[in-house]
Structure 1
Amino acid sequence: MMTPDYCRMMARYNAWQNKQMKAALEALDHETLTQDRGAFFGSILKTANHILWGDLIWMAKFDGGEPPSGGIPGSVDLNPTLAAWSADRFRTDARILNWARRVQTVELLGEMRWYSGAMGTNVAVPTPQCVTHFFNHQTHHRGQIHAMVTAAGGTGWNTDLVFMPKDGPWL
């Protein structure tokens, strides 16, 4: 059963990971961040933008806020620079943490329905599966970024959930 505590833990994990990832990305130059590395979304910055775009899409479903424009192909161009991405990422992580702090068990029941542009059809998916996917999507693509950063000679960061600090600050 999906619980609010799970959402809070994973929102904290997301913010913790993004804070560490931001520090690793800031140690790289713009050319390194934007070089095509053969990953699904090409570069480190494009992959970071895609994660952020996905977070904004899912948060719009969860909290009723405004989704970003465009679809998956345009997700990689959400922010042209690391500085712009960092500001947007910070705001989005705060939004995710605030949603997780407020979410109630009843909101995690049932199913979610929407038109999926990626699938080209209406879908209905159990809410717990949507929330799990939301957090898994972040982790999956951050893993790709971690691999690209270390392959580029940058420093990786601790990604182990079991070693997440018990107390913040999360942002």
Structure 2
Amino acid sequence: MITVEFCKVMSRYNAWQNEGLEQAMLALNQTELRKDRKAFFGSIWSTANHLLWGDKMWLSRLSGGPPPGGTPGGLDLHSELQPFLDDRRRTDGHITRWAGRLTHVDLVGPLTWYSGLSGRNVTQSKAMCIMHFFNHQTHHRGQIHAMLTAAGHKTMISDLAFMPEAF
């Protein structure tokens, strides 16, 4: 279904795209970041917090680390930009190191976790969970990209084929 190389490429893509979003977020003031833009999570800020929270939650499930704090969904994970950016960079580094240590065996078998969203234990294949992990990142970064573009801010290219040293 997926390969170790896929995970390594997607972890680099995640970090590359988050670097671009960091630059865009630094160019915005707090009012612009938190403005309700009628997206699923409302604002760029809430969506970015959810994305980071989700990455930390999936990492805790996949690598055994601690789950993130904050409320379910993580919209309030951080209240200030610099701590958010520092945590984002640390988490991206963790994702890259995790992907770099994966072996084929790490991609097979079931993964079971308690889902706060559904209120029960869930079991899925590890491969499916890892694909969801990377898809979730891309989905929510796409929402942020669209909000930034609609607000008149220049954003970086998001095409995987144009990632430096892509393959």
The Cα of 1:101 is off from its aligned counterpart by: 0.5
Q: Look up the equivalent residue of 1:92 and give its one-letter code.
A: T
Distance 1:165 1:120 in 2: 41
Tell me which residue corresponds to 2:50.
Answer: 50
Contact in 2 for aligned 1:71/1:117 (Cα 8 Å): no
Tell me which residue corresponds to 2:5.
Answer: 5
Alignment map for 1:74-153 (pairs within 5 Å): 75-153=74-152
Structure 2 alignment gaps of length 5 or more? none
Structure 1 length-normalised TM: 0.93
Distance 1:72 1:21 in 2: 23
Question: What SS is found at the alignment partner of 2:132?
Answer: helix
Question: What SS is found at the alignment partner of 2:100?
Answer: helix
Question: What SS is found at the alignment partner of 2:69?
Answer: coil
Contact in 2 for aligned 1:53/1:68 (Cα 8 Å): yes
Backbone CA RMSD of aligned residues: 1.1
% same residue: 51
Distance 1:113 1:71 in 2: 21
Tell me which residue corresponds to 1:65.
Answer: 65
The Cα of 1:103 is off from its aligned counterpart by: 0.8
Distance 1:70 1:31 in 2: 22
Contact in 2 for aligned 1:8/1:100 (Cα 8 Å): yes
Question: What SS is found at the alignment partner of 1:155?
Answer: coil
Contact in 2 for aligned 1:112/1:124 (Cα 8 Å): yes
Distance 1:153 1:47 in 2: 18
Q: Look up the equivalent residue of 2:12 and give its one-letter code.
A: R
The Cα of 1:65 is off from its aligned counterpart by: 0.6
Tell me which residue corresponds to 1:17.
Answer: 17
Aligned residues: 166
The Cα of 1:72 is off from its aligned counterpart by: 3.0
Deviating more after overlay: 47-56 vs 158-167: 158-167
The Cα of 1:82 is off from its aligned counterpart by: 1.7
Contact in 2 for aligned 1:55/1:134 (Cα 8 Å): yes
Tell me which residue corresponds to 2:35.
Answer: 35
Tell me which residue corresponds to 2:157.
Answer: 158
Question: What SS is found at the alignment partner of 1:56?
Answer: helix
Structure 1 alignment gaps of length 5 or more? none
**What does the per-residue CA deviation read over 1:87-131, in whole Å, with 9 as the maximum and x for residues that have no partner?**
000000000000001011101101101111111121110111000
Question: What SS is found at the alignment partner of 1:72?
Answer: coil
Q: Look up the equivalent residue of 2:15 and give its one-letter code.
A: A
